[in-house]
Structure 1
Amino acid sequence: MTSYAVLLRAVNVGGTGKLPMAELREMCTALGFADVRTYIASGNVVLRSEDAADAVRGALEARLEQHAGRPVGAIVRTADQMRAVLAANPFPHVPGNRAMVIFLDAPPPADALERVRGAADEQMVLGAQEIYVHYPSGMGTSRLRIPAAENGTARNMNTVAKLVAMLDEFDEHDEHDGLDEHA
């Protein structure tokens, strides 16, 4: 089984896309995913599946569209990919609530940062399939617009770290299950 983090777009943010996390867990379980756990009410799920990431995303997006009556995008990353995102954080000494990762479906265009509008003191770095943003003055007052990120979904580094820890728990559980207690 592969462990995944699933990050939904525009769920329970600013009064849009209401989806109780209990319903999300039920949907995921009904789709055959195992060990489904959610984290905070903004559409973060960790789960395990025999399916490839694209199949996980496709099944969940189809079910979410049935539920919401509109498309709800999902970004799916393996545990190793999430660990790599955390490890590649270009702002490791910044408080986790001031550094964001915008998860994308594909690598960001090379000119993504040249097309940014409304930048003040924000710092941005392109990742493999992410854009990292540091908001020194906080995100609430920022006017930053990143066109390349319009179809992505953002999580702060605290949330990324928590999701990685949750995924690590799956691996720890697997290690303990594999031990022969009579050896």
Structure 2
Amino acid sequence: MGTTGTTRYAALLRGINVGGSRKVPMAELRTLLQDLGYADVGTYLQSGNAVFSSGHGDADSLAAQVSAALAEHFGFPVDVLVRDHAYLRAVLDACPFPAAELEARQLHATYFSAPVAPDRFGSLDQQAFRPEEFRLGDRVLYLYAPDGLGRSELAQALSRPRLTKGVVATTRNWNTVVKLVELTGG
């Protein structure tokens, strides 16, 4: 919780500031969130992570509001997921992999805009990707990629359009997962 009667949230922006396109400067993002009436606004890294407090709306309505404001301000659509501290903490606590024993680059969380049924990934032969593996949680996919995300064949397979159809998905490394819990906890 932030200010009395408010909830701390993280906004996860998908596909910005990658390869020189779809630029969203963090200072402008902070100002935009403040102009929407959110309090205690901050950003983390340049890859589209913001935190704020709000006393109105729910995660989905806040995401829609932020997404619409971004499109109006920057002139291009941005998918946004908003998650509260309790959810982010639950994702951290439910990690099926030994996070404390792994390097942050080896462990990732892909957040989904809606629940995803395990049968969506039924066509993937997980054994073919070993030692890489994934597990599903509550609107999240945990990915263990020992050589990092950039070299992960499993990550490429998981991001195929037929597997992500109908949901917004955005991935964060484990350092960011932990940091967002910290930033929304205060």
* TM-score > 0.5 by shorter chain: yes
- Equivalent residues of 1:117, 1:145 under 8 A apart: no
Aligned counterpart in structure 2 of residue 106 of structure 1, from 109, 114, 117: 114
Superposition deviation, residue 140 in structure 1: 1.5
Letter of the structure 2 residue corresponding to residue 97 of structure 1? R
- Equivalent residues of 2:22, 2:76 under 8 A apart: no
Aligned counterpart in structure 2 of residue 159 of structure 1, from 169, 173, 176: 176
SS at match of 1:100: strand
- Equivalent residues of 2:60, 2:81 under 8 A apart: no
* Higher RCO (CA-CA < 8 Å; seq separation 6+): 2
Structure 2 gaps of 5+ residues are 1-5
Q: Deviations over 1:64-106 (max 9, x none)?
A: 1112322211111110000001111112232122111000011
Whole-angstrom CA distance in 1 between matches of 2:146 and 2:45? 24
Which structure shows the bigger proportion of residues in helix conformation? 2
Superposition deviation, residue 117 in structure 1: 8.1
- Matched with 2:129 is 120
- Matched with 1:94 is 102
**Residues 1:116 and 1:26: Cα distance change in structure 2 (over 3 Å):** farther
Structure number with greater Rg is 1
Aligned residues: 169
Superposition deviation, residue 16 in structure 1: 2.8
Whole-angstrom CA distance in 2 between matches of 1:77 and 1:116? 28
Matched, 1:43 2:48: yes
SS at match of 1:107: coil
- The alignment yields a C-alpha RMSD, in angstroms, of 1.8
Report the TM-score when normalising by structure 1. 0.85
SS at match of 1:164: helix
**Residues 1:116 and 1:25: Cα distance change in structure 2 (over 3 Å):** farther
- Equivalent residues of 2:108, 2:173 under 8 A apart: yes
**Residues 1:94 and 1:67: Cα distance change in structure 2 (over 3 Å):** same
- 4+ aligned runs moved over 6 Å, structure 1: none
- Equivalent residues of 2:42, 2:51 under 8 A apart: yes
Matched, 1:59 2:65: yes
Structure 1 gaps of 5+ residues are 171-183
Deviates more, 1:159-168 or 1:51-60: 51-60
- Give percent identity, aligned residues only: 40
Q: Deviations over 1:80-139 (max 9, x none)?
A: 000001111112232122111000011112213324489633210001101110101222
SS at match of 2:157: coil
Whole-angstrom CA distance in 1 between matches of 2:72 and 2:33? 13
- Equivalent residues of 2:107, 2:143 under 8 A apart: yes
